[in-house]
Structure formats: structure tokens, C-alpha cells
Chains A and B, each alone.
Chain A
Amino acid sequence: MAGLVTDEKDLMEKKIRVLIAKPGLDGHDRGAKVVALALRDAGFEVIYTGLHQTVEEIVEAAAQEDVDVIGLSILSGAHLPIARKLNEQLSEVNFHPVVMVGGSIPSRDIQPLRDLGIDAVFPTGSQFTEIADFIRSSDKVPPEGQAA
């Protein structure tokens, strides 16, 4: 009985894990930090990588932390090459969390990003609730409270 209670408690506390990452050289992290804080406030477990990450470092951190979601924050305009690279490297290690991209993304690049395998795009102006709802509703993410 004690074991069951412990298991239930663990299950109830299992949060969806999100890695917020800043790829490339750009140092503007206000958006990344604001989204990270908002998602934490919304009940997710959030890890923020800090600045100047290579795609390799992001994939490694994501796999190590076994996150359910990767969120890239990109303001430099280099979102398409970065997204392409990220998905290639995730495939190489056979790790397929939800991937979302936020930042300075022109509308015309949203579909190309989706075509590259990005699950959702949240350009400037996106609401916290939109992002949180998307994560919760995604098929690829285990429902909160239950282990995958």
C-alpha cells in the first residue's frame, strides 16, 4: 500500500519537461527567459540553456534531460537553417520531443518551418496560454501526472 501511495504521488508530480534554448550567437534572451518563466508558472518543469548554444549542445542537453519539449528562441533570422540542423541531429540520435520555435519569424516562414518538422511556431505576439495549451494538447507529450 505504501508503495502504491508513493507511486501515485510521483505520478501526480510528474511535470512536462521543457528545454528552452538559445541557439547561435544572438544574445537577446528576454523572450526566451519570459517564456521560460511563464511556462514554469503554468506548471511545467523548465530548463533554460543560456546563450550561445550550438545545435549539438542543445540536442545533447535535451537528450540528457530527457525533455518532452524543446523550445528554440531565435531572433536573428537564421531560424530555417537552425531548424533544419536540429531536426537532422534529433533524428540521428532517434530522440523526438516536441519542437517549437519562437522569436522573429516572418509569417511566410511558418509553413517552411512546419515542413521541416517543427511542431509549432510562436512568433512575436504569441500568448503564453497558446504555448502552454499547445504543449498540453500535443500527442507527443505524455499527459501530466503520468509517466510516459
Chain B
Amino acid sequence: MSERLEKVTLESGVSVQPVYGPEDVEHIDAARDIGPPGEYPFTRGIHPEMYRTRPFTMRQYAGFGTPEETNKRFKFLIDNGQNALNVAFDLPTQMGLDSSDPMAEGEVGRVGMAVDTLADMELAFEDIPIDQISVSLTVNALALPIMAMYFVVAEKHGVSLESVRGTAQNDILKEYIGRGAWVFPVEPAVRLIGDTIEFCARQAPKYYPVSVCGYHIRESGANPVQEIAYAYAIASEYVRTGLERGLEIDDFAGRISFNFDIHGNLFEQVAKFRAARRLWARIMRDEFGAQDPRTMKMKMIAGGGGGGLTIEQPENNIVRGAYYALISALSGAQTMALCSFDEAYTIPTEKAALISLRTMQILVEEMGLRDTVDPLAGSYYVEWLTSELEQRILKEMRRVDDEWGGILNAVKDGLAQREVAHQAWQYEKGIQEGIIPKVGVNRYRMEEADHEVDLHPYRAELAEQSIQRTAQVISSRDAESVSSALDQLRQAALGGENLMPAALEAVRAYTSLGEMTAVMKEVFGEFKEPVRL
């Protein structure tokens, strides 16, 4: 650590000089490329006064076990100052399986809450003021029916479709690359996203139906430049589906938001986000013809990523979380979340979730991050790096088109998947060979006692409860309505109609997620993973 750094190369491949000065930013047209916050190209931030007006939203991912258990955790977080919810669903739910499905065994309620029918959603949000608290649903392949469930719950809370707010992750293309919760093949999956975009644009105009995730792509091994490039390639595809439905760009594209990953070099991350804002504004205006500035604003949740955290010396992750939160605030994120210090072990305990929340609250209240916008602007290094990264992101986007034939092709053929896997391997080699420093792992290692971390326990009896409740719901619902609703769903799927109306009907009749998914699998088939090492 005490030797001079002879060569510094960032994850994105940029070489860093020891000193930056005025000559390094001479080529940058400040008026055109930087500009004031709240004005095109929004490099400095999407609002004129950013956190001075309102701090970033804190939205920790939460959910496990039964809806009742999740409801309790929601209330705990809200009581402790969290102002928005991000709902975690268990894997069976994410994969469209009911809790009783054989493939669901051992997984019910493990990494999120189990939702089989509307009854579960109703319980999850009991006594939660969803007219005041923004709710994000982390679901992808089955986003359409889960959104339908949420819309019906909102109705029951007195919130109409026209006023319902919130967001669904609903980004299937990143699943194929880096998260793995895919079900249907690429084309029908993208069509479903088109359905949600169209439905929301016309009937639920305050809802944000898609959150494009560079996050998971980076977590799978992509470097920061690729994270943005692939996310924008993906977002562009979704924008195209909206346009294909006859929507005007300004009618819907402004409600596509982004989910990005923070770990690693502080300045690289901040510059990445500034470049990303500028680039998205340019893409929306120049490529897609947007005229409303709101469409051009790149809205994001930028979260402290698990990829930077370690299993060794887990308390170090509390510190990393604080640094990542700082980066997020310096980067002008609208919403922030942090992976908790026990990330490598299990889903967060109450204590770990609370520490993450307090980390963000201390940042907001004590550290001056609200005082002024984009405080790093004008820094020779940061402006130079912002422009440098923008160029590299553009280059990588072109590569996706020129070398891979576009992101849809890349995903179907496993090209993007292979790229990130190879990067991940190189990175891991760098860690294991001690070239990429990681405190506690290859620097300052300690003989540790069996990691004494208070783990979140998995409770199998909660799985049983889910299964029982669903059986109850099934036995007391009107079978005719369900059968007819499933027929409608099938017809809509076969006929290329928007599935949302049929899904809403099915949900109201307490059709289960598994039943709806089975119909969709019947019509759409299932994705065949292109395994390429």
C-alpha cells in the first residue's frame, strides 16, 4: 500500500493520471455538455435544486415468509423512517409458481414473500398507506399479473388506476443476462412488457411500469461502462415496443426509470452517472425525438451493490455501505438503497436493515449532501472522466449493435451472458491473485471465528401457512369465474391482445399466479437457456 501507484486503470479501462488540470477539460463545451441542473442534458442532475428541495428516497428491499411477516417488516422500516417500499417476492412467486408447486419446495418465503393469490397481496399491504407511500415491486417475468394484483389492492385502498403510483421492476432482458428469473422466451416476454407500458400509458399514467436494471448486469461481471451501455440498449428496446403500440414518446418513455449499481472506485461511479444522465437525454431527444424535458430525464435508484461486499469481516460492509451511499448522493440518485452488511450470508436481519437505513439518514442529516447540487461539478478530474466515460459507453452500445446484432440477439444467443461471465472470472482471478485489492480478503486478512453473524432464519412453518391459505382461497372462490378468466387470458395471449385487462379480471376472481402462468407457458413456451461458457 505504501508504494507509489505506478499505473492506475479503472474497471472501465480508463487510465488515471496523477494530476488533472484546466488543459484536460478545455475540449469540453460546458454550456453544451454540462449545463445547469434541471436542464438538458441534465449532466448535473435532473432537477434544478435536487436534494436542496427534497432528499433522495430511501427504499430498502424487504420481504420474506408470509405476507403477514413482510407486512410487519414494512411497518418496522416505515416506523424507522423509510419512506418508500421495495417488495421482495420469493423465487416461486418470481417464477410464477404457487407455493404448493413441487418445484417450489424449500424455496417458499425464503428470499422474499410468497404470493399465490390476491389474498396474499391484500395481507401484505394491510394498514399500509399506499396512497402516500410509493411501492416498488421487484418482479420481472410475471410482472404483469403481479402488477394486476397490486392495482386491485390499490383499488381496495381507494386508489384508482388513474392515481395509483409506484413502480415495477419488469425488466426481463436483464434477467437473461444476469439475474436468472426468466420464464418465457425473449419475444413474448418483451411483448408482455409492451402490454404493461401500453396499459399504464393509457390507464395508469402515474405508474412507472419498467425499471431498467444495469444493476444486475454489473453484479454479474459487467464493468461500469457495460452496465450503462447494456441497460440503455435494453431500455431502447422497451421504448421501441411502446412506439410500436402507437404511443408517442413523450406519453410513456418518461416513466421508464433505471436501477444502477454502486461499488468500486468513487470517482468512476460518480462520473458514470453524470455521463449516463447526459447520454440518456441525448438518446431520448436526438434518437427518439422526445420533446418534453421530462422524457429526457434519467431517473434512477442507485444502490450500494452486493458485489462489493465480502463474506470476510462482515462489519467492514457497514463501512462500504456508507461509502456507497455517499457515492449515490454525490451522483444525484433519486432513490437510494444499500445491500446490508450480512449480504453474503442471508437476507437482512432487522438489525442489518436498520444499519443500512441509518447510514442513509446520517448522510442526509449530518453530512451536507443536501446543501448544493452536484458538488463535484467543475472538478477537472470528474468532468474529464464524465466525458471519457460517455464516449466509452457510446462505443460499447455500438458494439452491441455491430458485433452482436442488437441486445435481443445477444441475449438469445448467450453472447451478453458469456461476456459478463468472462469478465466476472477475470475479476475473480484478480482478487484471488491479490492484484485487485479487497480489504479482509487479500489485504488485512484475519483468522476469523466462524462468522458470528446473526442470521435471518428460514422458517418452514411459514411456507406451510402460505400453502394452507392458498388452499383455503381456492376452495372458497367461484370456480366458474376463475375458469372463464383463464380462458380470457388464453384468448388474449393467443390473439396478441394486451393481457392486462384479462389479468385484472383473473386476479379479482382469486385466480392463482401459478394458474395464470401455466396458461401463459402454454401459449408462449419457455425460454431455452443458451449455455455458452
Complex contact A26–B311 (CB within 8 A): no
Given the interface pairs A25-B92, A38-B425, A106-B345, the reply to whether A30 lies near B219 with Cβ below 8 Å is yes
Residue of B at shortest CB range from A107?
B450
Q: How far is the CB of B122 from chain A (nearest CB, A)?
A: 25
B321 at the interface (CB under 8 A from A): no
By a beta-carbon cutoff of 8 Å, the part of chain B in contact with chain A is 91-92, 94-95, 97, 103-107, 110-111, 175, 178-182, 219-221, 310-312, 344-346, 421-422, 424-425, 428-429, 432, 441, 450-451, 455, 458, 529, 531, 533
* Bound form: Cα–Cα A104–B455 in Å: 12
Q: How many residues of A contact B (CB 8 A)?
A: 35
A147 at the interface (CB under 8 A from B): no
Residues of A close to B429: CB separation below 8 A:
38, 128
Residues of A close to B310: CB separation below 8 A:
125
Which of A25, A40, A51, A76 contacts B533, CB < 8 Å? A40
Complex contact A33–B533 (CB within 8 A): yes
Complex contact A77–B421 (CB within 8 A): no
Q: How far is the CB of B339 from chain A (nearest CB, A)?
A: 13
Given the interface pairs A37-B533, A81-B106, the reply to whether A28 lies near B179 with Cβ below 8 Å is yes
A25-B91, A29-B220 are known contacts; what are 14 more A-B pairs with Cβ within 8 Å? Answer: A25-B107, A26-B107, A27-B182, A30-B220, A30-B421, A76-B106, A76-B110, A82-B106, A107-B451, A123-B311, A124-B311, A124-B344, A128-B429, A128-B432
A30, A52, A108, A129: residue with the most chain B Cβ atoms closer than 10 Å: A30
Given the interface pairs A33-B421, A50-B529, the reply to whether A125 lies near B107 with Cβ below 8 Å is no
* Bound form: Cα–Cα A78–B463 in Å: 14
Q: How far is the CB of A130 from chain B (nearest CB, A)?
A: 10
Complex contact B180–A28 (CB within 8 A): yes
Complex contact A50–B531 (CB within 8 A): yes
Complex contact A48–B311 (CB within 8 A): no
Residues of B close to A76: CB separation below 8 A:
91, 106-107, 110-111
Residue of A at shortest CB range from B346?
A77
Residue of B at shortest CB range from A37?
B425
B94, B103, B106: residue with the most chain A Cβ atoms closer than 10 Å: B106
A36 at the interface (CB under 8 A from B): yes
22 contacts between A and B (CB under 8 A): A24-B106, A26-B111, A27-B175, A27-B179, A27-B180, A30-B178, A30-B221, A33-B424, A34-B421, A37-B422, A38-B425, A38-B428, A48-B533, A50-B529, A52-B180, A78-B110, A81-B105, A82-B106, A106-B455, A107-B451, A108-B450, A124-B311
Q: How far is the CB of B31 from chain A (nearest CB, A)?
A: 42
A87 at the interface (CB under 8 A from B): no
* Bound form: Cα–Cα A67–B26 in Å: 61
Residue of B at shortest CB range from A29?
B180
A137 at the interface (CB under 8 A from B): no
* Bound form: Cα–Cα A24–B106 in Å: 9
Q: How far is the CB of B173 from chain A (nearest CB, A)?
A: 14
* Bound form: Cα–Cα A33–B311 in Å: 19
* Bound form: Cα–Cα A77–B531 in Å: 24
A138 at the interface (CB under 8 A from B): no
Residues of B close to A127: CB separation below 8 A:
432
Residue of A at shortest CB range from B432?
A127
Residues of A close to B92: CB separation below 8 A:
25
Residues of A close to B428: CB separation below 8 A:
34, 38, 128
Q: How far is the CB of A95 from chain B (nearest CB, A)?
A: 22
Residues of B close to A38: CB separation below 8 A:
425, 428-429
Q: How far is the CB of A105 from chain B (nearest CB, A)?
A: 10
Residues of B close to A34: CB separation below 8 A:
221, 421, 424-425, 428
Complex contact A51–B180 (CB within 8 A): yes
- The interface bits of chain A over 114-148 (1 if a CB of B lies within 8 angstroms of the residue's CB, else 0) are 00000000011101110000000000000000000
Interface of A, helix, strand, loop or mixed by DSSP = loop
Q: How far is the CB of B152 from chain A (nearest CB, A)?
A: 26
A89 at the interface (CB under 8 A from B): no
A46 at the interface (CB under 8 A from B): yes
Given the interface pairs A51-B529, A125-B312, the reply to whether A24 lies near B107 with Cβ below 8 Å is yes
Which of A30, A48, A52 contacts B424, CB < 8 Å? A30
Residue of B at shortest CB range from A27?
B180
Residues of A close to B455: CB separation below 8 A:
106
* Bound form: Cα–Cα A40–B421 in Å: 13
* Bound form: Cα–Cα A29–B530 in Å: 13
Q: How far is the CB of A111 from chain B (nearest CB, A)?
A: 11
Residues of A close to B531: CB separation below 8 A:
48-50
Residues of A close to B175: CB separation below 8 A:
27
Residue of B at shortest CB range from A126?
B432
Q: How far is the CB of B308 from chain A (nearest CB, A)?
A: 14
Residues of A close to B425: CB separation below 8 A:
33-34, 37-38
* Bound form: Cα–Cα A82–B106 in Å: 9
Residue of B at shortest CB range from A108?
B450
Residues of B close to A48: CB separation below 8 A:
531, 533
Residues of B close to A123: CB separation below 8 A:
311
Residues of B close to A36: CB separation below 8 A:
533
Residues of A close to B94: CB separation below 8 A:
25
Residues of B close to A28: CB separation below 8 A:
179-180
Complex contact B345–A104 (CB within 8 A): yes
